[in-house]
Structure 1
Amino acid sequence: MSKSKIFFLFFLLAGIVYFNSFWVKFIWDDEALIVKNYLIRDFSHIFGIFTSPVSFLQNPCFWRPLQILSYCFDFFLYKFNYRGYHLTNILLHTIVGILFFHLSLYFIPDKKICVFSCLLFLLSPLWVEVVTYISGRADILVAIFLLLSFLLFLKERFFLSWVFYLFSLFSKESAFVYPLLVVFYLWLFKKFNKKSTFYLFSLFFLSFLIFSIHQLIAPVSLTSSFSLSSSFLFFIKAISKYLRLLFFPFHQHMSYTVKIPYSFFEKEVIFSFFLLTGLIYLFIYFYKKNKNFAFFLGWFFIFLLPYSGIIPINAFFAEHFLYISSWGIFILFVCFLKIMIKNKKIFLLFLLSYLAFFASSTIKYNFIWQKEMDFYKRIIKFSPGSFSAYNNLGVIYFREGNIDKAQPLFKKALKINPEFKEAYLNLAYCYYLKGDIKETEKIVKDILKKDSHFPYAWSLLGKIYLDKKEYKKAESFYQKAVKINPQDISLWQDLFLFYKTLNRKEAERIKKRIEEMDEFALAQIYFHQARALWEKNQLGEALEEIRKAIKINSFNSEYYNLYACIFKRMKKYELAYLFYKKALRIDPFNERVYNNLGNLWVILGRFKEAEKNFKKAISLNEEYPEAYFNLGLLYLEKKKINLAKKMFRKTLYLAPQFKPACFYLKKIDTLN
Structure 2
Amino acid sequence: MKNKEKLYFLIFFIFSFLLYFNSFKIPFYFNDYHMVVANLFIKKAKFFPLFFKGYVTSVPWLFGMCRPLLMLTFSLNYFLTQLSPLSYHLFNIFIHFCVACLLYSFLKYLRKDVPSQLLFIITLIFLSHPLNTEAVNYISARSDLLVTLFLILGILNYFKEKYIFSFLFYILALLTKETGLCFPFFIFAYDFIFNIEIKNLFSFFKKRKRNFFYLSILLVTLFYFLYKNTFFSSPVKHSPPRSYFSNFLMQSIILFLYLRYFLFPHPLSILHYFPEINSLSLVTFFSGLGILLLIILIFIFKKRNPHLSFAIAWYLIGLLPLFYARLLQVFAEYRFYLPSIGVYLALLVFTQKIYLRHKRQFLSVSATIIILFSIFVWIRNYTWQDKFRMWKDVYRRNPHYWEVNYALAEEYWRREEKDKAKELLKKAILEADKAKRGRVRSRIFLATIYFEEKKFEEAKRLIKEAKTISPYYYKIYELWGKILVEEGKGKEALNLWKKGLKFFPYSWQIYDALAYFYYKKEDFEKVKKFAQKALSYYPEDFYAYLLLGKIFEKKDISLAIKMYKKSVSLNPNHFLSHFYLAHLYVKKRDYISALKEIEEVIELKPDFKKAKKIKKALLKILNVHH
Same fold (TM over 0.5): yes
Q: Is the 8 A contact 2:565 2:581 kept in 1?
A: no
CA–CA distance in structure 1, aligned partners of residues 154 and 607 of structure 2: 53
Match of 1:174 among 171, 174, 179: 179
Counterpart residue number, 2:161: 156
Match of 1:467 among 475, 478, 486: 486
Match of 2:329 among 315, 336, 341: 315
CA–CA distance in structure 2, aligned partners of residues 511 and 245 of structure 1: 49
Q: Deviations over 1:601-620 (max 9, x none)?
A: xx89xxxxxxxxxxxxxxxx
CA–CA distance in structure 2, aligned partners of residues 446 and 222 of structure 1: 20
Counterpart residue number, 1:45: 47
Counterpart residue number, 1:632: none
CA–CA distance in structure 2, aligned partners of residues 457 and 486 of structure 1: 14
Counterpart residue number, 2:17: 15
CA–CA distance in structure 1, aligned partners of residues 554 and 237 of structure 2: 54
TM-score, reference length from structure 2: 0.84
**Residue 433 to residue 218, structure 1, CA distance change in 2 (3 Å):** farther
CA–CA distance in structure 2, aligned partners of residues 134 and 478 of structure 1: 32
CA–CA distance in structure 2, aligned partners of residues 289 and 578 of structure 1: 74
Structure 2: runs of 5+ lacking an equivalent:
197-203, 617-626
Q: Could you tell which deviates more after superposition, 146-155 or 26-35?
A: 26-35
CA–CA distance in structure 2, aligned partners of residues 173 and 464 of structure 1: 43
Q: Is the 8 A contact 1:514 1:522 kept in 2?
A: yes
Q: Deviations over 1:561-604 (max 9, x none)?
A: 954895499697864797899x9xxxxxxx959999xx99xx89
CA RMSD, aligned part only? 3.4
Counterpart residue number, 1:329: 343
Counterpart residue number, 1:256: 272
Q: Is the 8 A contact 1:514 1:521 kept in 2?
A: no
**Residue 457 to residue 350, structure 1, CA distance change in 2 (3 Å):** same
Identity of aligned residues (%): 24
CA–CA distance in structure 2, aligned partners of residues 97 and 398 of structure 1: 41
Q: Is the 8 A contact 1:526 1:546 kept in 2?
A: no
**Residue 408 to residue 261, structure 1, CA distance change in 2 (3 Å):** same
Q: Is the 8 A contact 1:376 1:389 kept in 2?
A: yes
TM-score, reference length from structure 1: 0.79
Q: Deviations over 1:170-194 (max 9, x none)?
A: 2112112221111212222235424
CA–CA distance in structure 2, aligned partners of residues 594 and 160 of structure 1: 62
Q: Deviations over 1:409-462 (max 9, x none)?
A: 111111111242100111111221222212212221222223221111011111
CA–CA distance in structure 2, aligned partners of residues 501 and 245 of structure 1: 56
Counterpart residue number, 2:87: 84
CA–CA distance in structure 2, aligned partners of residues 12 and 595 of structure 1: 49
Give, in angstroms, the shift of residue 241 of structure 1: 1.0
Q: Deviations over 1:152-186 (max 9, x none)?
A: 22222222222221211121121122211112122
CA–CA distance in structure 2, aligned partners of residues 91 and 152 of structure 1: 21
Q: Does 1:125 align with 2:144?
A: no
Q: Could you tell which deviates more after superposition, 198-207 or 99-108?
A: 198-207
Match of 2:562 among 542, 547, 562: 547
**Residue 594 to residue 445, structure 1, CA distance change in 2 (3 Å):** closer
Counterpart residue number, 1:231: 247
SS of the equivalent of 1:463 reads helix
Q: Deviations over 1:261-311 (max 9, x none)?
A: 344433x33554565465445434421212122111211111011112x33
What amino acid is aligned across from residue 168 of structure 1 in structure 2?
A
Counterpart residue number, 1:210: 224
**Residue 573 to residue 561, structure 1, CA distance change in 2 (3 Å):** farther
Q: Could you tell which deviates more after superposition, 59-68 or 554-563?
A: 554-563
CA–CA distance in structure 1, aligned partners of residues 537 and 247 of structure 2: 42
**Residue 151 to residue 338, structure 1, CA distance change in 2 (3 Å):** closer
What amino acid is aligned across from residue 5 of structure 2 in structure 1?
K
Q: Is the 8 A contact 2:135 2:142 kept in 1?
A: yes
Q: Is the 8 A contact 1:145 1:168 kept in 2?
A: yes
Counterpart residue number, 2:619: none
Q: Is the 8 A contact 1:546 1:563 kept in 2?
A: no
Q: Is the 8 A contact 1:108 1:114 kept in 2?
A: no
Q: Does 1:69 align with 2:83?
A: no
Q: Does 1:396 align with 2:411?
A: yes
**Residue 546 to residue 461, structure 1, CA distance change in 2 (3 Å):** farther
What amino acid is aligned across from residue 528 of structure 2 in structure 1?
E
**Residue 546 to residue 164, structure 1, CA distance change in 2 (3 Å):** farther
Structure 1: runs of 5+ lacking an equivalent:
584-590, 605-672
Q: Is the 8 A contact 1:80 1:555 kept in 2?
A: no
CA–CA distance in structure 2, aligned partners of residues 158 and 450 of structure 1: 52
Q: Could you tell which deviates more after superposition, 254-263 or 174-183?
A: 254-263
Counterpart residue number, 1:304: 319
**Residue 336 to residue 378, structure 1, CA distance change in 2 (3 Å):** same
Give, in angstroms, the shift of residue 257 of structure 1: 2.1
Give, in angstroms, the shift of residue 405 of structure 1: 1.2
Counterpart residue number, 2:98: 95
Give, in angstroms, the shift of residue 66 of structure 1: 1.5
SS of the equivalent of 1:367 reads helix
Q: Is the 8 A contact 1:130 1:136 kept in 2?
A: yes
What amino acid is aligned across from residue 61 of structure 2 in structure 1?
Q
Give, in angstroms, the shift of residue 550 of structure 1: 4.1
Q: Is the 8 A contact 1:182 1:200 kept in 2?
A: no
Q: Is the 8 A contact 1:580 1:593 kept in 2?
A: no
SS of the equivalent of 1:156 reads coil
**Residue 198 to residue 556, structure 1, CA distance change in 2 (3 Å):** farther
CA–CA distance in structure 1, aligned partners of residues 76 and 167 of structure 2: 24
Counterpart residue number, 1:372: 387
CA–CA distance in structure 1, aligned partners of residues 607 and 378 of structure 2: 28
Q: Could you tell which deviates more after superposition, 13-22 or 326-335?
A: 326-335
CA–CA distance in structure 1, aligned partners of residues 595 and 366 of structure 2: 50
Counterpart residue number, 2:352: 338
Q: Is the 8 A contact 2:542 2:570 kept in 1?
A: no
SS of the equivalent of 1:300 reads helix
Match of 1:352 among 353, 359, 367: 367
Q: Is the 8 A contact 1:141 1:168 kept in 2?
A: yes
**Residue 63 to residue 466, structure 1, CA distance change in 2 (3 Å):** farther
What amino acid is aligned across from residue 34 of structure 1 in structure 2?
V
Match of 1:510 among 525, 530, 541: 530
Give, in angstroms, the shift of residue 96 of structure 1: 1.2
Match of 2:376 among 348, 353, 361: 361
Counterpart residue number, 1:620: none
Q: Deviations over 1:329-366 (max 9, x none)?
A: 12321331221351111111111111112111111111
**Residue 470 to residue 559, structure 1, CA distance change in 2 (3 Å):** closer
Q: Does 1:381 align with 2:396?
A: yes
CA–CA distance in structure 2, aligned partners of residues 550 and 143 of structure 1: 43
Counterpart residue number, 2:263: 247
Q: Does 1:113 align with 2:118?
A: yes
Counterpart residue number, 2:201: none
SS of the equivalent of 1:503 reads coil
Q: Is the 8 A contact 2:568 2:577 kept in 1?
A: no
What amino acid is aligned across from residue 51 of structure 1 in structure 2?
K
Give, in angstroms, the shift of residue 551 of structure 1: 4.5
CA–CA distance in structure 1, aligned partners of residues 598 and 265 of structure 2: 39
What amino acid is aligned across from residue 533 of structure 2 in structure 1?
R
CA–CA distance in structure 2, aligned partners of residues 252 and 431 of structure 1: 35
**Residue 565 to residue 127, structure 1, CA distance change in 2 (3 Å):** farther
Give, in angstroms, the shift of residue 61 of structure 1: 5.0
What amino acid is aligned across from residue 252 of structure 1 in structure 2?
L
What amino acid is aligned across from residue 417 of structure 2 in structure 1?
N
**Residue 545 to residue 164, structure 1, CA distance change in 2 (3 Å):** farther
SS of the equivalent of 2:24 reads helix
Counterpart residue number, 1:290: 305
